[in-house]
Amino acid sequence: MRRHVQVLEVVAEHQPIGIGRISDVTGMEWHKVRYSLRVLEEGGIIRPSKKGAVLTEDAPARISKISRRLSELNREFEDISKRYQSLARKLEEG
């Protein structure tokens, strides 16, 4: 997921941009860049063009939706972590 975000950031900054240039900018191997581009394309965030990858018109809305969902998940994980920490303390105390 982190790699996909890195590729997305590069596309957003340099669009249109090809696999080779993304590889140069990120230091990632071509096959990893290609896979990330495919994932982002399947998610409707980028699309291919004759000059390279570009963001779709829906990209801002899709990125915002993903960001909100990640924030929700983060809150849920924090709650679960606190509950486990509390349980661990209780069990350690006997």
Domain boundaries, the chain: 1-56, 59-94
pTM: 0.80
Distance CA 17, CA 48 (A): 9
- Which positions of the chain have pLDDT values less than 50? none
Nearest alpha carbon to residue 34 among 26, 22, 45:
22
pLDDT at 1: 85
Domain 1-56 has what CATH class? mainly alpha
Q: How far apart are CA 39 and CA 2, in angstroms?
A: 12
pLDDT of amino acid 52 = 96
